[in-house]
Amino acid sequence: MQTQQRRGLYPEFEPYETGMLDVGDGHSLYWELSGNPDGKPVVFLHGGPGGGSSPSHRRQFNPGKYKILVFDQRGCGKSKPFASLENNTTWDLIDDIEKLRTRVAKVDKWMVFGGSWGSTLALAYAQTYPDRVTELVLRGIFLFQQYELDWLYAEGGASSIYPDGWDEFVAPIPQEERADLLQAYRKRLTSDDKQTQIAAAQAFSRWEGRTVTLLPSPAVMEEFTESDKAISIARIENHYMINKGWLDEGQLLRGADKIRHIPGIIVQGRHDSCTPPRAAWALKRAWPEVDLQIVPDGGHLYNEPGILDGLVRATDRFADA
C-alpha cells in the first residue's frame, strides 16, 4: 500500500499590509495581513510566550483561501517595548486579539490557530469569546497545570529524558536556590546587569530548545540561544510560568463546555517532550467533539514533518467551511 505523501508549507508569499497597533499600557504590536483580503479570516497565535512570529508561520495556510493575520505578542518580535514584562498577562493578550480583530482584520469572526503557548492562548480566547471563533486548530497542548510546570522546571520530568540538558540548565543556579528554579532564574533575568540577563536567558532558552525537537537540531539551538531571541523567550516565558499564566488550576479544562460547539482539530506529537500528550488527552476528554490527531513520529515543533502535515491538512479542511 502506498504511503500518503506528507504535506509541507505553502510556497513563500509576502504580506499585503503590515503595521503597528497601539494597544495601550505602553505596548505597540507588530502585525501583518497576508493571503486573500477577501478570504476566510484566521489569526495565528505564536508560541513562547515570547517566541515571536516568523515568515513561515503564514505558510501553513492556503494564501488563495485565507485572510491571515499574524502578529507579535507583547514584548517580543517587532512589538515594542522589547522584552517588557509590564502589563503583559494572558488577559492583556486576549484583549489585544480582540483589538486586532476589530481594528486590523475588521472581521466579525475568525478561525484561531495556535501551538504550544499559542494553544493555551487560543483556548483562553475562545472560552472568553466563543461567539467570535469559527474553528480552532491547535498543536502541542499546554494547559498551565502544575504538573506541566513541574515537568519542565522540576527534576523528574523532562530531566529524565534530557539529564545532560538538565545539568546545563541548573548549572548557573547555586545549590541553595535550586528548590525554585523559576524564581532563581527570574532574579537573574530581571537583573540590572545586561550580561547577567543574557547568560541566564541563554541557559533558560537552551533548556527549552532541548525539549522541542524529536532529534537534535543545531539550527534550533542556535535560534533559541541568539541573545535577543533568548532574552524575549526567557524573560517573558519565566514571567508567565511564575504567574501560572494567570489561570486557575484546571481552568481551561473546566471551560471546555464553552467551546464544544466550535469545530476543532488538535495535532499532538506522541514524543513531544516539551508539552507531552497527557494535556491533549485530558482536553479531548473534556471536549469529546474535537479531532485529536496524535502523530506517532512527532515531537513538539510545528515544522516537524508529521506535525506540519497534520496542521496543513487541518487548515485545508477548514478553508471552505
Which positions are catalytic?
116, 272, 300
Query: Is 237 within 8 Å of 208 (Cβ atoms)?
Result: yes
Spell out the residues 6+ positions from residue 245 whose beta carbon is closer than 8 angstroms to its own: 90, 120, 124, 144
Give counts: helices (H), strands (E), the chain. 11, 8
The grid coordinates of residue 83 equal 522584552
Contact 307, 298 (CB under 8 A): yes
Between CA 205 and CA 225 the distance in angstroms is 6
Instruction: Please name the residue that has the C-alpha cell 506522541.
Output: 270
Query: What is the spatial distance between Cα 235 and Cα 229, in angstroms, rounded to a whole number?
Result: 10
CA distance 235 to 84: 8
C-alpha cell at 213: 525537537
In which element (H, E) is residue 315 found?
Answer: helix 305-318
